[in-house]
Amino acid sequence: MRNLTHPEPPRPQAFMKPVPFPWRWALAVVAGSLAAARLAASLDLPLEAKQDALRLNRLPLAGVPVSSEPGNPAGSDGRAPRLDVPNGSGTQNPTTAGQFRTGLFMGGGVSASDWRARENSPLLNGQASLADALPQMQVPTARQGTTITFGLRSARMGMPYLPRSVSLAFGSVIEPPAVDEAGRDIAAIRFQYWLPEPYTTNNHANAGYYWSPHARKVYAIQPGPITITWRKALAYTAANFPSSYVNPGGGTSSARDGANTYLLFTEPHLVSGSPAKPTRTIYWTEREFRTLSKPVTIPSSKVGAV
């Protein structure tokens, strides 16, 4: 309740000065740069196109206008224009095949199907009208009845960054599988469930990965598809070995070590050509550091002499 006998003193008013015009642009640029930096920091590199991550349009409950017949194909609401009925623009152009469907474009353009007939056409000598020349140019056209309304003279479609989904970056650590031999989730105990060293019969020669006996880790050293076969840490005997087990990834299903038998699990990976860490400079080490450094082999075809 306010005291009417002793009114409150007037409170100071705070006024905000208008920001000068050049400073408004500066603030906008700074805000845009911060937003771009935040967006760039949230991107997972390397960039790739994941075909299995494409989203389906599930918002229209009745379907989408894939065709002029409801339910044919599945998901069509029948609202696609019919060829015998003029559409909203007054034309009877057929709809583009594959509309409202998920697709992956690798690249393309507009090209003539018969270059010889195109070169020898008498209508392409500069005397005919464009409407008459378009069919001879062998480019896509649109018609209103029998009259050509427009033609697509050129077009280009680009390619995605990567056509395949990668699971590992070059040089990254390959961890044991996060599932067991039956596909059940064991991410919390994966390092105890599988032995750290992959199964090998030739000391990991030409394996596409590097097994470090000192770090006891596996590293991805070859871009492209690789497979790694892991051994289950729990050993079986002849009495309790599951003879019906089949390796889901193909290859050998078990390995014997004396009286013990180990289940094998093969897991595929696709290694990216982009490195997991920034590149570093390798320096030559001599004298007292010679026994501590790792020798670097340089092919003679690359460097003839040092």
Say if residues 254 and 241 touch (Cβ distance below 8 Å): yes
Say how far residue 1 (Cα) sits from the centre of its chain.
66
Residue 156: what residue type? R
Q: pLDDT at position 6, please? A: 45
Q: Which of 64, 92, 58 is nearest to 77 (CA)?
A: 64
- Torsion angles phi and psi, residue 259, rounded to 5: -85, -5
Closest CA to 145 of 232, 88, 86: 86
This prediction has a pTM of: 0.45
Instruction: Tell me if residue 136 falls in helix, strand or coil.
Output: helix
More confident residue, 71 or 181: 181
Residue type, 208: G
Instruction: Please tell me which of 18-27, 120-129, 130-139 the model is most confident about, judged by mean pLDDT.
Output: 130-139
pLDDT, tens digit, for every residue of 95-133?
Answer: 666 666 655 555 666 767 776 777 777 777 666 777 777
- pLDDT bracket for residue 3 (50, 70, 90): very low
Total residues found in the chain within this entry: 306
Q: Which residues contact 71 (CB under 8 A, 6 or more apart)?
A: 63, 78
Q: For residue range 231-269, what is the model confidence (pLDDT) as tens digits?
A: 999 999 988 989 899 999 888 999 998 889 999 999 999
Residue 152's pLDDT is 80
Question: Mapping DSSP to helix (H, G, I), strand (E, B) and coil, where does residue 112 land?
Answer: coil
Q: For 25-177, where are the E strands, in sequence order?
A: 108-109, 141-144, 147-151, 156-157, 168-170, 173-174
